[in-house]
Structure 1
């Protein structure tokens, strides 16, 4: 960072307060293009009242940012703080504008947990241009600007005046525009998550201090779990594969009535698809911990501490458990059971460009299972396969060339630049590849029919927006997210031996295919399928229980 002293004798440089206010006004105006677009679409900026509202909103955002910067308006901290805020505002502006997302704590958690492969998918020329114009150029100017810092008593007085003045402006503008702001906020709660970069600061604060108990406390659960001794059981142990789908919206599965043939391989197998299944979150970071917990969404969101997960309880019951991940991790769910991440493996055909297709999860699977403890495998094995699935925005990377049945295909991560049919083609190709992967997994299970009573349960973590209402990807707050981000695929396959073992009648499931269910049923349904008895099990949340014959 260059010196803050004047560049020539007699030149005092910028006032720190002026520098801070210029940065705040830039972020409040140019950094909030997505907010202005949303307000324009709602008709809130029409006429002179709309112009007055826009001015008031910009002034309030600038004043709020000034409040944030006032404690940092010192020689060693103002320029770094301003530069970081400018870069955060530029990045937030790009993603909110390009994909129609909003930034809250869940979205920020997704960003912080993104791996290199996912980050690569988001890189584009448009991102670089936005970062440069909105963030890098103004940050570079601020870093180089000469500043007259003065002596510290005067600097303290000026900082206090900045804080007091910003607070007065914020309160005054909010009160002056209270009625239209309140109406907009009540009817469109997502708008508050578009206020940039205050949305990122609020999300960061919520992640850092919002739930400290959860970050440090984990309660044991299901330590009393055991396998029930049922009459008529075969000598074969159960082998249950839980496929954790990624970004798979239910309405793009032909099994659920979609007009395009996206699931021909599964249609040829004896599977059952529940067509009215709903997620407990709109992102992997929110949904996966929730669906593997014993709690419903509202209970999970208000919990005071974390608990052991489904895979922990299965391990408590003495079963062999293995989690294979072809994604950015299990979000803490599998930390206490054997787990392997396959996304960085090298395979000549399944990992052609440094990222592995989902069929890598089946490569060498027998050897992986054989390495699990023998005494546990004798009671039963649960294998979790976490897919890359249909993870966007690079949908074209989620399927191999021989699985691209729908053409032309969008091959850009700037989804708004693609024709909508091409975007849908790319997404549907990823669903068709999931169909192929699931069928291959079922065939693998069928080949082990004499050694185990096998079954497969596929449930997606969340859905996806494909340009409807100018929204892309996922991760909107649950209360305002469209159904396509929450309506997910849920598919069951039971071998004849497993069907007899569990007592679940396929015809009954077929009759209930339109009955609503959700991630809150997942934990308890898996325990019920495996006859695991524990105080953590709630029979009313076991979806398969109603179809279980004596």
Structure 2
């Protein structure tokens, strides 16, 4: 019966968009059920009004702008998109705002096949088959009525459009008072509207991206110069952490011994540091930008000099070594290399999943030729999920049992936490090994290690996994990050006030905003872009 008689295109479009609105918004309706009495008059009125508005916003563009010969293709694309969005939102608590769209675009741009493979799991494939492929086959098999004269077809579509708009507007008028109040108090729920929120985020991202491309590049720090107390050389390493959360560092009071090596070092672990964003693509450029979180966007930061450029302008040799997908544009104008582009399959530190982070420490002496001050930035793979168990050699699987699946939501939470804590244990080893290398350079140079993670990670708390939630939605687990600073004895002697200043800031509220100015401060660089009040050492 379903495939026997031809369907009016407008009816098919309305029915499919109604199905999309009802079937792929499980997370939204679950949260509504938690926040209001859905069977009360006000609650039922709000849910009905919201459903009608969502249906109208999804249906009307299809009815008015999609021609008959493209209708099935567009509907199938919406179904497949909604099925994928629904999987990640329902199972991992991920929503698709502008930053998540940016992550996806940069994953494609960086040709990061490894990250894509890690996200492609059997549960995802089964979900896409059941909720994407099967409905798409049904849509493809439904016969459409023969093409009508354009004015008649347009008239029918306008009738459907007017009916949908009338229903939505009427319900809103009837329920206006409570609907307006509830929507104002629960604005975060808009992020769970599938697929409308993702479609809007995609439009906003590309609109912002292309608008920013027309802006000229602004050079900052032309006046940058060093004012060091002595000509003694400074060699520093900044380690950009990946997905590390502060409350899983035993240095910060965590009950599992995740920092056995770093706890033996005389270093500062700052306790109250907030990330700029909740994703690598957003946070990494922010860490080296002078904009500050309040005025920052990746597109704006990409059009001006960053702190590494200014250090280079001041005479510091700056090198970026990457074991992650890319430097997100930060290292474009400095010397850089990416381990993933120079793979040696016979290397003991290489596995099918890529290099372990300690591989970045090989041959660091190569970058010390000459007498310049040197900053080496190491961009780690750190604790990147969802495959935490692939981020460390077997010797670091100390916390047992641990999740060995690529889908953390299918493992007991305790096992997910153990797998994650093993990544922190390995990070502890890598950072300790880096400090030991810096100590070998200390007789002839003042040395330091600065470590900060780009963002945190959710490990199943409240049903949320991974990272990337909009900042206004993100739990503290995704924004409270570890930040460490180690100074050699000779460095402390050169700057005797620095250590006491750092100790006074251990519990102070800090953020990624402090990093660029602290990097300049560590090399005694003066410039109009430098703000001493944001320098950790001042």
Alignment TM class, shorter chain as reference? over 0.9
Pick from 501, 513, 519: which aligns with 1:526? 519
Residue 116 of structure 1: aligned partner: 113
CA distance in 1, matches of 2:216, 2:452: 25
Q: Rate the CA distance shift 1:456–1:93 in 2: closer, same or farther, 3 A.
A: same
Is residue 23 from structure 1 mapped to residue 8 from structure 2 by the alignment?
no
CA distance in 1, matches of 2:290, 2:29: 41
Is residue 466 from structure 1 mapped to residue 463 from structure 2 by the alignment?
no
Residue 252 of structure 1: aligned partner: 248
Aligned-pair CA distance for 1:500: 2.9
Pick from 34, 37, 46: which aligns with 1:41? 34
Q: Does structure 1 retain, via aligned residues, the 8 Å contact 2:282–2:298?
A: no
TM-score by length of 1: 0.91
Residue 217 of structure 1: aligned partner: 215
1:31-82 per-residue CA deviation (whole Å, 9 max, x = no partner) reads 1111112112224424465444333322221211112312443133212211
Deviates more, 1:471-480 or 1:16-25: 471-480
CA distance in 1, matches of 2:54, 2:281: 29
Is residue 208 from structure 1 mapped to residue 201 from structure 2 by the alignment?
no
Is residue 106 from structure 1 mapped to residue 99 from structure 2 by the alignment?
yes
CA distance in 2, matches of 1:537, 1:77: 55
Residue 3 of structure 1: aligned partner: none
Residue 530 of structure 2: aligned partner: 537
Q: Rate the CA distance shift 1:366–1:68 in 2: closer, same or farther, 3 A.
A: farther
Q: Does structure 2 retain, via aligned residues, the 8 Å contact 1:89–1:197?
A: yes
Aligned-pair CA distance for 1:487: 0.7
CA distance in 1, matches of 2:325, 2:214: 22
Aligned-pair CA distance for 1:323: 1.0
CA distance in 2, matches of 1:522, 1:471: 29
1:202 partner SS = helix
2:340 partner SS = coil
Task: Flag structure 1 segments of 5+ consecutive residues without an equivalent.
Answer: 1-5, 546-550
Aligned-pair CA distance for 1:193: 0.6
Q: Does structure 2 retain, via aligned residues, the 8 Å contact 1:20–1:73?
A: no
Aligned-pair CA distance for 1:330: 1.6
Q: Rate the CA distance shift 1:433–1:200 in 2: closer, same or farther, 3 A.
A: same
Following superposition of structure 1 onto structure 2, how do residues 385-464 of structure 1 map, counting pairs within 5 Å? 385-464=378-457
Task: Flag structure 2 segments of 5+ consecutive residues without an equivalent.
Answer: none
Aligned-pair CA distance for 1:419: 1.4
Q: Does structure 2 retain, via aligned residues, the 8 Å contact 1:256–1:273?
A: yes
TM-score by length of 2: 0.93
CA distance in 1, matches of 2:339, 2:55: 46
Is residue 132 from structure 1 mapped to residue 129 from structure 2 by the alignment?
yes
Q: Does structure 1 retain, via aligned residues, the 8 Å contact 2:492–2:498?
A: yes
Residue 157 of structure 2: aligned partner: 159
Is residue 365 from structure 1 mapped to residue 361 from structure 2 by the alignment?
no
Q: Does structure 2 retain, via aligned residues, the 8 Å contact 1:227–1:530?
A: no
CA distance in 1, matches of 2:336, 2:174: 56
CA distance in 2, matches of 1:226, 1:52: 62
Q: Does structure 1 retain, via aligned residues, the 8 Å contact 2:499–2:537?
A: no
Residue 317 of structure 1: aligned partner: 314
Q: Does structure 1 retain, via aligned residues, the 8 Å contact 2:403–2:416?
A: yes
Aligned-pair CA distance for 1:502: 4.1
Aligned-pair CA distance for 1:88: 0.9
Aligned length: 529
Q: Does structure 2 retain, via aligned residues, the 8 Å contact 1:20–1:69?
A: yes
Residue 294 of structure 1: aligned partner: 290
Residue 239 of structure 1: aligned partner: 235
1:484 partner SS = helix
CA distance in 1, matches of 2:19, 2:488: 62
RMSD: 2.3
